[in-house]
Amino acid sequence: MTNRSPTIASFWFGSDLSWLEQLCLQSFLDHGHRFVLYVAHEVKGIPAGVETRPASDVFWPPPFVVKAEDRQGVAVFSDIFRLHLMRQGEMIWVDLDAYCVRAFEFSTDFVFGRSRRGDFPTGVLRLPTRSATLEQMLEFVMSSNPSQPWRGRRLQRHNRERTARGERWGIEALPWASSGPKAFGHFLRRTAEDRHAMAAETFYPLAQEELWKLHDPRIATNEIETEAVHSVHIYGHQKKLMANRMAGLPVSGSYLDRLCKRHGIEPSTAPILRLAWM
C-alpha cells in the first residue's frame, strides 16, 4: 500500500487544549495532513483547520465511568477508542503530545514503532483492519474480567478464583498501561506482527532519560530532529513537569519554544494548567 498524506486522528476529553496540544495539531496541518479530532464535549483552543467529530462516530459512551480528573480512566478509554478507530479505516492515530517533524508518508498498512527501550508505545498507531493484533487486543480490552495474559500462572489462577467467587471487573481496573503498551507488545509478539515495527528514531527519538533535551536551550534542533525522525513524542508527564515547575510554559529558547515559533503558537494564551492528577 502507498499512502500519501493519510488522515491523522485523535481523541480528547476533559480540559481545553493547552499550547502543547495546539502545537502538535498544527504541526500535522502544516505538513499537509488532514486532522480529525474526536470529542465528547465542547473543547476550546482547537486550531483552525482541525476537523472535529463526535466521539460517538467511533465509540461512545465508554463502558465505564470516565471523569476528567481521572487520568488513568481517560487513558484507558483512549486506548480502547483508538482500537475501535482502527476498525473503521486507514486513519493514523496520534496522541496529542506527538509533534510532527516530517509528513507521515509510509508504504505500509502497519504504522507503529519501538521505543528506545524496546517496548511498543501506542502514541502513533495504525493497524490494518485484518490485523490479528487488533482483533486480539479488542477482544481483551472489551472482555469481562480481563486478566493480563503476559503475567504468570499465579495471577491467572488468582483471577479464576476471583471470577468463581462472583467478582466482576473491567479493563479500567487493571494496572497502568494494561490496555495500551503492555497489551500491545504482548499481542504483537503473539501474532508475530512485531516484525512491522519501525525503528525507535521514527516516532520516539528521545529515550525517557533524554526528555530534558526538550527544555534545555543548549540543545540544537537538529540534535533531536535527525533524518530518520518523523515525530517527536513529548509524553504526558512532561506536561506535569511544565505545569509544576515552568508556569505551564516552554523554557525560553528551548526546543519546545522554537517549535512554537515555527508554527505560530503563542504559549502564554493557553498555558498548561495544573490538573488534579498533577
pLDDT tens digits for range 207-246: 999 999 999 999 999 999 999 999 999 998 999 999 999 9
Across the strands, what pairs with 36?
A: 9, 51
Instruction: Look at the block and give the residue holding cell 500500500.
Output: 1
Rounded to a whole number of angstroms, the distance between the first and last alpha carbons of the chain is 42
Average pLDDT of the residues in 15-29: 98
d(CA 97, CA 37): 13
Q: Which pLDDT belongs to residue 1? A: 39
Residue type for position 138 = L
- Which among 19, 24, 20 has a CA at the least distance from the CA of 266? 19
pLDDT tens digits for range 58-75: 999 999 999 998 999 999
pLDDT over 90 (residue 178): yes
Q: Which pLDDT belongs to residue 3? A: 45
Count of CB atoms situated within 10 Å of the CB of 1 = 9
